[in-house]
Structure 1
Amino acid sequence: MERSMFLELALAAMDELVKLAQTDEPLWLRSLEGGREVLNHEEYMRSFTPCIGLKPNGFVTEASRETGMVIINSLALVETLMESNRWLEMFPCLVARTSTTDVISSGMGGTRNGALQLMHAELQVLSPLVPVREVNFLRFCKQHAEGVWAVVDVSVDTIRDTSGAPTFMNCRRLPSGCVVQDMPNGYSKVTWVEHAEYDESQVHHLYRPMLSSGMGFGAQRWVATLQRQCECLAILMSSSVPSRDHTAITASGRRSMLKLAQRMTDNFCAGVCASTVHKWNKLNARNVDEDVRVMTRESLDDPGEPPGIVLSAATSVWLPVSPQRLFDFLRDERLRSEWDILSNGGPMQEMAHIAKGQDPGNCVSLLRARAMNANQSSMLILQETCIDAAGGLVVYAPVDIPAMHVVMNGGDSAYVALLPSGFAIVPDGPGSRGPMTVKGGGHGSSNGGGGEDATHRVSGSLLTMTFQILVNSLPSAKLTVESVETVNNLISCTVQKIKAALHCES
């Protein structure tokens, strides 16, 4: 009975997705900066019958659509979406954790056409101020024509509940997904639709405009991530090496270094949002700033981490600086001494560079900090940076010099112990919260002259920073008040240094 209901829901969701992907105005509107498309909810209610029931009390709706060209063919993208591990690897900053809980149909004729599976996922925006979205959903794949496929997701919580009164998580997915059409030269045209209802009361006020506009979990972010990741794969599979790359690294060394960087970035993301990837324990410490979240966990029997008690501290702040400017500042090894205590007060030197995209900001680097005195060896820092239309990421970790020599010669990176820290940068969304300024040189609407002066709010970025540090090498040790104070001070001092360097102390 349940499986027949799943199939009926999947077919209805697929029909809705295709219509949402193919219909323009008045169903979709462009009232936003950057030309992003958002759903006209009044028109939507007239055109569609809700396939998973009415919106829960207290929930709000977000819906967006984005179309882009991606260097991947339709079959490869469909296969990526239908395999939970490959989906996770393609969208590491969006998907914290996922699993396939039931395969209802594997498809027809040895293809994914008609494949239907039940999945569980934790979706994230990289900030401690935005709760992880936990969703149970059907994923259904259908071929619509030669070289044209569609993959749709839809929540199933209302079907699976047997107690009588439906219960909801903090989010549910209305028909969402993508329509993919093959194009020449290995490209695809991807039209992505994201439609969700969620409990806004759990979201910090800093992030509400961004989420409601679809910039957090919306279609633009999925397409931008897909484009960047596919471009990276195409470059890494290419036989030619970009000119800036250091040719001293062998092909196997490049692969090993990239694998280590991927693990570092994955662990960074897992430490920002408190997903269930790691068993974090949240601390309610009195000596910690209100918007700083501190968590601890034990690191045991993992060769990729130092053993002991790991402390993670994360916070998000608003800055009146564009995401691109903020990203360029934080990734520049020459300016690192302006905010990073690991720099030993001076510029760092780039020892190795592996390009991951056409944008120079998409790369993995190995940096060297100068020694503080003649008896101290210089420190190495592994860093991964990436940027796209949806935001940027700067992730780094101190690494052992002998271990990195092994990695750069193609050795196994699984035994390199590291704890990542770093930054996630996103646009702040419409209705930004900056101070009022005046265009035209006057003093706002009080001038009484009826001239061209106009007040507007400064736009900017939402910056999340996270530090993971080993506070005790004994897993059984107790956490001290001093350790918590140290990491809280590190967070607040870094914020102040960044604000001072970018002249936005106010």
Structure 2
Amino acid sequence: MQNGSSFVTWVENVDVRDKTEELHPKLIPIVELGFAFGVRRWISNLQVQAEHFIYSMGINTSPSDSPISLEGRRSLAITTKRMVISFCSDVCNSTYHHWSSSNKTREKTMEVKTNKRMGDPGKPPGLHRTVGCTIDLISSHNRVFDYLRDIHNRPQWERISSNSIVHELATFSTDPDPRNCISVLAISRLNNFLLLLECSTDETGSFVIFAPIKKATFQSLLCGVDQEIQLMPFGFCILPNVSGSILDGTLRTMVFQITVKSVSSKQAVEVVTQIGKETLHKIIEVVN
């Protein structure tokens, strides 16, 4: 259009089948009110993706952005996109990614599910064990997101950041909302690794996803080198909890992964489940 905006005509054809008996009761209102599917979700996602492209390509920038070259921004954006896609694939339940209940916490507030896979492209070699759980929080969706994305809070809930100094090596916005950004974090106790982090939020939900990368890899990405690096993402999906027709708290899904090499698969599940349990309680103490 002449004012620089885009005019979008949205046509949607939906085949609706009653699958409510297969959904968890907490998810039914989210689906029915359009937070999961439908025009509300698609329009919101289209807006986020358009802004993400404009900012990642350096067409728009934010005053708070680190001085990163256009090539560096693009390489970091491409790598974080792979990280987010990998995380979402890990969370999904399908024939390939089959989850089984493994409630080792013995707590009603946290049902743990696990899956195992081997030979996933883009991941470190070995058997991968993924542990995930979804819990109710009474705090608002925005409060939970703001707490988890703040790097100064990480030592309060993250095991590898405990008793460490966390600082931002590089960051740039992916949206007019400065909370939507891609960052690279340094943790004082990690000598050879950094954390690649992406935070994103809109009215239908949020995520905070991160993965360790080698320092040499980060330097290559800053120089604009597009390379297929091995990523093992961790993180959180945060959904507004809908009660009736109003927002009431938050549904938060937490996912941790481990590569099984020198330990048994059963021991790996126990280790990563314990990490998830500790992280869960530390977050609940603050935001709930």
Structure 1 residue aligned with 2:208: 394
Cα pair 1:257 1:413 within 8 Å, conserved? no
Structure 2 residue aligned with 1:490: 275
The correspondence for 2:250, drawn from 454, 461, 467, is 461
- Which structure has more strand as a fraction of its residues? 1
Residue 223 of structure 1 aligns to a residue whose secondary structure is: helix
1:43-63 superposed Cα distances (whole Å, 9 cap, x missing partner): xxxxxxxxxxxxxxxxxxxxx
Cα pair 2:103 2:112 within 8 Å, conserved? no
Change (3 A) 1:185 1:370: same
Structure 1 residue aligned with 2:265: 480
Structure 1 residue aligned with 2:20: 200
Cα pair 1:368 1:378 within 8 Å, conserved? no
Change (3 A) 1:285 1:292: closer
Cα pair 2:156 2:162 within 8 Å, conserved? no
The whole-number CA distance in structure 1 between the counterparts of 2:161 and 2:73 is 25
Rg larger for: 1
Question: What is the 5 A alignment of 1:230-379?
Answer: 230-239=50-59, 241-247=61-67, 249-275=68-94, 279-283=96-100, 285=102, 287=104, 291-299=111-119, 302=121, 304-371=122-189, 377=191, 379=193
Query: Are 2:208 and 1:419 equivalent residues in the alignment?
Result: no
Q: In terms of mean alpha carbon deviation, does 491-500 or 288-297 score higher? A: 288-297
Cα pair 2:192 2:214 within 8 Å, conserved? no
Number of equivalences: 284
Question: Which gives a bigger RCO, structure 1 or 2 (Cα 8 Å, sep 6+)?
Answer: 2
Cα pair 2:137 2:252 within 8 Å, conserved? yes
The whole-number CA distance in structure 2 between the counterparts of 1:458 and 1:231 is 26
How far apart are 1:420 and its partner, in Å? 0.3
Question: What is the 5 A alignment of 1:17-32?
Answer: none
Cα pair 1:320 1:458 within 8 Å, conserved? no
Residue 216 of structure 1 aligns to a residue whose secondary structure is: coil
Cα pair 2:87 2:233 within 8 Å, conserved? yes
The correspondence for 2:29, drawn from 206, 209, 223, is 209
Gaps of 5+ in 1: 1-181, 433-456
Residue 231 of structure 2 aligns to a residue whose secondary structure is: coil
The whole-number CA distance in structure 1 between the counterparts of 2:218 and 2:166 is 17
Residue 360 of structure 1 aligns to a residue whose secondary structure is: coil
What RMSD in Å do the two structures reach over aligned CA positions?
2.5
Which amino acid counterpart does residue 480 of structure 1 have in structure 2?
S
Cα pair 1:423 1:465 within 8 Å, conserved? yes
Cα pair 1:183 1:189 within 8 Å, conserved? no
1:303-339 superposed Cα distances (whole Å, 9 cap, x missing partner): x321001111111111011111111100000001111
Change (3 A) 1:218 1:194: farther
Gaps of 5+ in 2: none
The whole-number CA distance in structure 2 between the counterparts of 1:239 and 1:199 is 43
